[in-house]
Amino acid sequence: MKTMMTRSLLAMGFASLGLAGLGLAGLAATTAQAQEATFVMTARLVGAPTYNPTKATKLNTATTLIFDRLVVQDADQSFHGQLASSWEASPDGMQWTFKLKPGVKFHNGEPFNARTIEWWVPQFKGTENAFTVEAIERVEVVDDLTVRFHMKRPDPNLLFNLATSFMCIPEPKSYTALGDSFGVTDAIGTGPYKMQQFSVGQQTVLVRNDDYAWASDLSANRGPAKFKKLTFREIAEESTAYLELKTGGADMLVNVPTDFLPRIQADKAVKLVTLPGNELVYMPINTSVEPFTDVKLREATAFAVNQKEILTSLYGGNGAAADTFLIASLKESQVEPKYKISYDPERSRKLFDAAGWKAGPDGIRVKDGKRLEVKLWTQNGTEFKRLVEIVQAQLKAVGMQADISIIDAGSINAQYRKKTEHQLAIRAYQWTNADIVDWFFAAKRAGYPNVSMFNDPEAERLNDIAMNKSKSWDERVANFTRYHEYVLSQYAFAPIYQPAQSLAYGKRIVLPQEIRGTGLYGPTMLDIAPAN
What is each CA distance from 524 to 80, 167, 518, in whole angstroms?
Answer: 14, 19, 10
Nearer to another protein, 339 or 429 (CB): 429
Q: With residue 414 as reference, give the H or E element that holds it.
A: helix 409-416
Nearer to another protein, 92 or 128 (CB): 128
What is each CA distance from 50 to 58, 128, 173, 183, in whole angstroms?
Answer: 8, 14, 18, 5
- Segment interacting with another protein (CB under 8 A) among 12-20, 76-84, 265-273, 488-496: 12-20
Pair 77, 281: CB distance under 8 Å: no
Indicate whether 20 belongs to the interface with another protein (CB under 8 A): yes
Indicate whether 129 belongs to the interface with another protein (CB under 8 A): yes
Among 68, 234, 251, 383, binds another protein (CB under 8 A): 234
Nearer to another protein, 131 or 507 (CB): 131
Indicate whether 102 belongs to the interface with another protein (CB under 8 A): no
- Segment interacting with another protein (CB under 8 A) among 85-93, 124-132, 343-351, 485-493: 124-132
- Segment interacting with another protein (CB under 8 A) among 126-134, 313-321, 322-330, 491-499: 126-134
- Pinpoint the alpha helices (H) of 328-367: 345-354
Among 408, 421, 458, 514, binds another protein (CB under 8 A): 408
| Interaction pattern, residues 54-83, with another protein; x per rule: CB under 8 A | -x-xx-------------------------
What span, in angstroms and rounded, lies between the C-alpha atoms of 526 and 532?
17
SS3 state of residue 487: helix
Calculate the CA dihedral of residues 254, 33, 207, 43 and round it to 10 degrees: -20
Nearer to another protein, 25 or 266 (CB): 25
Pair 249, 57: CB distance under 8 Å: no
SS3 state of residue 20: helix
Nearer to another protein, 47 or 363 (CB): 47
Least Cα distance to 182 among 325, 53, 5 occurs for: 53
Indicate whether 269 belongs to the interface with another protein (CB under 8 A): no
Q: Least distance to another protein from the beta carbon of 268, Å? A: 16
Q: Least distance to another protein from the beta carbon of 293, Å? A: 23
Site for another protein in 163-192 (CB under 8 A): 166, 180, 184
Nearer to another protein, 239 or 382 (CB): 239
Indicate the length of the chain as a whole number: 532
Which string of DSSP letters, residue by residue, matches 152-188? Answer: SS--TTHHHHHHSGGGPPPPHHHHHHHGGGBTTTB--
Q: Least distance to another protein from the beta carbon of 19, Å? A: 5
Q: Least distance to another protein from the beta carbon of 499, Å? A: 18
- 495-519 in b/e form (b: 16+ CB < 10 A) is bbbbbbbbbbbbebbebbeebbbbb
Handedness of CA 365, 366, 371, 372 (dihedral sign): negative
What span, in angstroms and rounded, lies between the C-alpha atoms of 201 and 205?
13
Residues 6+ apart with CB under 8 A from 379: 406, 407, 408, 409, 412, 427
Site for another protein in 29-48 (CB under 8 A): 29, 31, 46-47
Indicate whether 122 belongs to the interface with another protein (CB under 8 A): no
Among 280, 283, 302, 436, binds another protein (CB under 8 A): 436
Indicate whether 439 belongs to the interface with another protein (CB under 8 A): yes
What span, in angstroms and rounded, lies between the C-alpha atoms of 140 and 95?
10
User: How many amino acids of this chain bind another protein (CB under 8 A)?
Assistant: 64
State the residues that interact with another protein by CB under 8 A: 1-2, 5, 9, 12-13, 15-16, 19-20, 22-27, 29, 31, 46-47, 49-50, 55, 57-58, 128-129, 131-132, 166, 180, 184, 199-203, 233-237, 239-241, 243-244, 246-247, 249, 408-415, 431, 435-436, 439, 444-445
